[in-house]
Amino acid sequence: MGRFYCRISHSVSLSVSLSVSLVLCFSIASFPAYAEKNMSGVWVGNYSEDFPDRLPGPELGDYGGLPINDADRLRAQSWSASLIALPEYQCRVHPSDYASSFANIRIWDEHDPISEELTAVRIQHFAWQTRRTIWMDGREHPPEYAAHTSMGFSTGEWAGHQLKVTTTHLKEGWLRRNGVTRSDQATVTEYFIRHDNILNWTVIIDDPVYFDEPFIRNRDYIYSIDNQIANYPCDPVVEMVRESGYIPHHLPGENTDMLIYSNRHDIPLEGAMGGAMTMYPEYMQRLLELPKPSELDDQ
Amino acid sequence: MLFNKMNKFFLLAALLFAASANAQVDFDEIEVEVLKVRDNIFMLVGSGGNITVQVGDEGVLIIDTQYAQLSDKILAKIGELSDKPLRYIINTHHHGDHVGGNATLKAAGFTPSGGNVGGDLGDAGEGARILAHENVLLHMAADEAVSTDMWPTMTYFTEKKDIYFNGEGIRVLHQPDAHTDGDSIIFFRKSDVITSGDAYITSFYPYIDMPSGGTLQGFIDAANSIIDLIIPVYGQDGGTLVIPGHGRLSDIGDVLNWREMLTIIRDRIYDMKDRGMSLEEVLAARPTRDYDPRWAGEGIFSTENFVTAAYMTLD
């Protein structure tokens, strides 16, 4: 691992040779032969054509490009945005596998104070100041009966210069902020790859409950020397008086909101409803063959 | 008439499932594992319902006892957590996977007695006390296969029963007509931990034990009661913790998801029933199809069993 301990001689006079030795000593100590990359610092999300989805948020009824199965589609179609007006839902945090969707992050390392071995990588996300730990000390994942959390339980290892992270023990969360669910049985694999001042963060979500294929999200971040992560208070309040235990949702077949995205952009409803096939470029051809909402209106 | 027939069906199904599940378990292979929940609260996982253990200077309190075949292993684990005597057993309900070890564990315990109690009741100091809702005793007493030494020795028939043990208030709250008509959830006020029994689980759909008074609405009411007791930490990962009847240690997020599922399914089935759909038509419409991949189990935890019982118990 390139650990280097320097011992300074107690000889009375500093000879030229000792000076050279010290220079060599500090030089080598400054450049230890670690395989891992240093990713510490504040990283700013690099937005492009996906800005509307990542910051303002997705439109209602846009499940396109997501490998969801029929069960997850019905859950999304049953979802009502009024749910997040309930006090107990207002301060639910973004799960760790959603965090790369938007906003800035801070990364820092934790090292054993004696050996200087990397023991953990910590990541703080802007939203709700969520903090997660990626354990680098080789520990096992806990048993299934241990608590699941929004951040999950993460362990990391170096694959060359890539930090590979495996996360289990996630609570049920969301894949998109419009009701598309990711189950609590999912396993997430992430790769953090630093190229100078660019950080590439790849998230691969394998959900045996709701996905037909793994979902892959890839985001770029830019290293920032003049940003910090602000605080993010959240105090739930009663926004409207409702009957205790009331859960807003749409009964099957009664959700007209799910047509909003398709109609607004004149995209065939099948494409908007997602599914593994909608992730692939060849699906563009099928989209061209399907009737658009405007064409259906004309009939 | 239909209700009575369905009750018999459910009773038979439950008995057959319990018998077959018990017969399939090789108890020699089961390890009882311990999960620390709070400083003096632990969750024991083996086969059957999760066990809660509270330890302190006054002794040991446990909630539920799993199967009798595991009692020695359970006692060994409790012995690793405390050298004090087992003083209280609380039963969340009367099912065999939660009370099976009552007799052995009770016998291993101790209840201080003296004065009037010692003089009036000769066996008052023999073994730990077993506390449960009165309906638990009634169900166990009605079952000839349940020996009297498994029965609760303290019962309550009101909304709640409080005890103070090991430096904290412990509130036992009756949850009417949820999993059964004798369900209790237990709130450790200082430790900030709730034990839910089978009124809340994380493994499968709820088993609505209709012959024992269970209803879907009772499950939803119990979930709302648990949520009312919970105060989450900022970020909602933690705060009040919940030890479920089966499955993993939980907090508010898990219970919210559970309540959301039950409420949405209730509303769908209620709507179908309100439109005059028969049970067969409701089953064919698959009102739980978005939750089945996560929650459907086998036997009494199957989708068919759950939807049928939900339909039967919704007014």
pLDDT digits (tens, 9 = 90+) for A209-237: 999 999 999 999 999 999 899 999 999 99
Q: Which residues are CB-contacts of A277 (< 8 A; sequence separation ≥ 6)? A: A283, A286
Cβ pair B268:A251 closer than 8 A: yes
Cβ pair B294:A184 closer than 8 A: yes
Instruction: Give me the pLDDT at residue B114, please.
Output: 74
Cβ pair B252:A88 closer than 8 A: yes
Q: What is the mean pLDDT of residues B79-85?
A: 97
Contact B256, B242 (CB under 8 A): no
Instruction: Give the confidence band of A52 by pLDDT, cuts at 50, 70, 90.
Output: confident
Using CB atoms, pick whichever of A146, A151, A244 lies closest to residue B35.
A146
Cβ pair A251:B271 closer than 8 A: yes
Among B95-99, B118-122, B309-313, the range scoring the smallest mean pLDDT is B118-122
Identify the residue among B44, B250, B264 best suited for mutation to test binding to A, counting A beta carbons within 10 A and taking the highest: B264
Instruction: Give the confidence band of A197 by pLDDT, cuts at 50, 70, 90.
Output: very high
- Nearest chain B alpha carbon to A183: B294
Cα dihedral sign, B36-B297-A182-A276: positive
Contact B210, B10 (CB under 8 A): yes
Alpha-carbon distance A75 to nearest alpha carbon in chain B (angstroms):
6
**Chain A hits for B294, Cβ within 8 Å:** 183-185, 209
Size of interface A-B (CB pairs under 8 A): 100
**Chain A hits for B51, Cβ within 8 Å:** none
- Nearest chain B alpha carbon to A251: B268
Q: What is the mean pLDDT of residues A87-113?
A: 94
The answer to whether residue A148 neighbours chain B at the CB level (below 8 Å) is: yes
Contact B135, B180 (CB under 8 A): yes
Cβ pair A72:B290 closer than 8 A: yes
**Chain B hits for A232, Cβ within 8 Å:** none
Instruction: Give me the pLDDT at residue A7, please.
Output: 36
**Chain A hits for B221, Cβ within 8 Å:** 245
**Chain B hits for A244, Cβ within 8 Å:** 224
Write down the ipTM of this complex: 0.91
The CATH code of the domain at B26-251 is 3.60.15.10
Cβ pair A144:B248 closer than 8 A: yes
Instruction: Give me the pLDDT at residue B33, please.
Output: 98
**Chain A hits for B259, Cβ within 8 Å:** 245, 247
The answer to whether residue A74 neighbours chain B at the CB level (below 8 Å) is: yes
Q: What is residue A211's DSSP assignment?
A: B
Q: What is the pLDDT of residues B218-242, one digit of tens each?
A: 999 999 999 999 999 999 999 999 9
Task: Report the SS3 class of residue A74.
Answer: helix
**Chain B hits for A83, Cβ within 8 Å:** 260
Cβ pair B293:A209 closer than 8 A: yes
Task: Report the SS3 class of residue A111.
Answer: strand
**Structure tokens, B154:** 């303290």
Question: Which residue is associated with the tokens 């064919």?
Answer: B284
Q: What is the mean pLDDT of residues A178-183?
A: 98
Using CB atoms, pick whichever of B227, B236, B268 lies closest to residue A93.
B236
Amino acid at B70: L
Alpha-carbon distance A152 to nearest alpha carbon in chain B (angstroms):
10
Domain boundaries, chain B: 26-251
The answer to whether residue A210 neighbours chain B at the CB level (below 8 Å) is: yes
Instruction: Check pLDDT > 90 for residue A292.
Output: yes
Residue B211 phi/psi, 5° resolution? -60, -25
Task: Report the SS3 class of residue B23.
Answer: helix
Instruction: Give me the pLDDT at residue B25, please.
Output: 84
Q: What is the pLDDT of residues B35-67, one digit of tens each?
A: 999 999 999 999 999 999 999 999 999 999 999
The answer to whether residue B45 neighbours chain A at the CB level (below 8 Å) is: yes
The answer to whether residue B33 neighbours chain A at the CB level (below 8 Å) is: yes
CA neighbor of A171 nearest in space, from A83, A88, A93: A93
